[in-house]
Structure formats: C-alpha cells, structure tokens
Amino acid sequence: DTAVSQTPKYLVTQMGNDKSIKCEQNLGHDTMYWYKQDSKKFLKIMFSYNNKELIINETVPNRFSPKSPDKAHLNLHINSLELGDSAVYFCASSHGDRGGGETQYFGPGTRLLVL
Amino acid sequence: AQRVTQPEKLLSVFKGAPVELKCNYSYSGSPELFWYVQYSRQRLQLLLRHISRESIKGFTADLNKGETSFHLKKPFAQEEDSAMYYCALSPAGGTSYGKLTFGQGTILTVHP
C-alpha cells in the first residue's frame, strides 16, 4: 500500500527520444509535484498541480509537459530528451492547503539516464 | 525570491558526538521551515518542521528569524543518523500551495 508510487524506477534511453514517467498517490491529496535531483543531489521543483490544475511551473523547458488525468495521478512527459535531462525525478504529494507549510510525501524516484 | 543555503556538503562525526547541520534562508515574507531526510535506499521523508516544535529521533531545530537560520541539532549522533539531510522553505500563507525550495543538502556520516 505504497503512498506515492512512480514508474519506471529506472529509465535508460537515447538522446532525442520521448519518454514518460508516471506517478500515483493513494493518500487522497489534492496537490502533486515533480522535482528534479541533479548529479550534485540538488533538488528543485519543476511543476505542481492542485486538483488537476497547474499552479507551479518553474522555468522548465517546453519539452517537459506534465499531465494530470485526475488528482491522484501526475505524469511527466519529456520530448526530445537531452543529455542534461539525466537526473532523478521525484514525484510528491501533499494535502493541498493553499497556505503552504504542508508535509510533502515523496515517491521513490525515477532515475533517468540519457545516452 | 526564496533561497536556502546549507554550507556543508559533507559532515562527519563519531557516534555519540553532537552534530549540527547548518541551514540559512533568505525570504522576505514569513517562512515555514522543514528538514527532510533521505536514508540510503529510501525515499525522501519529512524529519521535522519548525511549526511543530517537536523532537524527532532526537533531532531538534529552532527557527531564528534574526539570524535567518534553522539549524538541525542532535546532542548524541547515532550511526543510523547517517543520511542526506535537506533543509527546505515554503512561504506561509497566501497561495503558495506548498512550494518548497530546498537547500543543497548535507550528507551526514556518523562513524562508529
């Protein structure tokens, strides 16, 4: 009964390919997030959705497109993959109060390697 | 803009020694501060948040608005405390929807 799950766990692909990472949470949360952790372990928010609505978009290239079919899912699609996209991508969720300061629950991460 | 700085990338101590992981922040409004921890082969999880004012696994952290710091402390480190620690900030109130800004992380190693 994993709270926040991501698939796949590992993803190895060639430059120029298009790939998707899926995230699901069974906590009943309204808000979901995508973070990128680079090779130096720096963790930075990419997107956030609240009830399927995009609320945070942090200067991420247009090649990255999040999609939220329902509030329990937030998928990340990446077009034309580049070497610099290699990283660990974390999904997270929180209850969704507008005021912030909430605990976020993280998925196990998806390690993406672009060759 | 919000910014979190963890000046130490690596921190090594011996078991039983006190440990302090430093965190400084920059934010013009009222912040919510957190410490998240990632143990080996585990997912990132909340350790503690300043608003709770609690001690988790022997760790405490006090928000010092004058020094804009939120250092994490433990009087007697244990080997199982070895992990990556992230300090994080979220704007309080408004419509931030929990946007977290993380520090660079500190890898704590506790030697036997």
The residue of chain B nearest to residue A4, with distances taken between CA atoms, is B43
A106 CB neighbours in chain B (<8 A) are: 43-45
Q: Mean pLDDT across chain A, nearest whole number?
A: 90
Q: Which of A63, A61, A30 is nearest to A48 (CA)?
A: A30
- The b/e string for B69-101 (b: 16+ C-beta within 10 A; e otherwise) is bbbbebeebeeebbbbbbbbbbbbeeebbbbbb
pLDDT at A33: 93
Q: Give the closest of A100, A105, A107 to B32, CB-based.
A: A100
- Whether residue B18 is predicted with pLDDT greater than 60 in this model: the reply is yes
pLDDT at B98: 66
The verdict on A49 touching B (C-beta cutoff 8 Å) is no
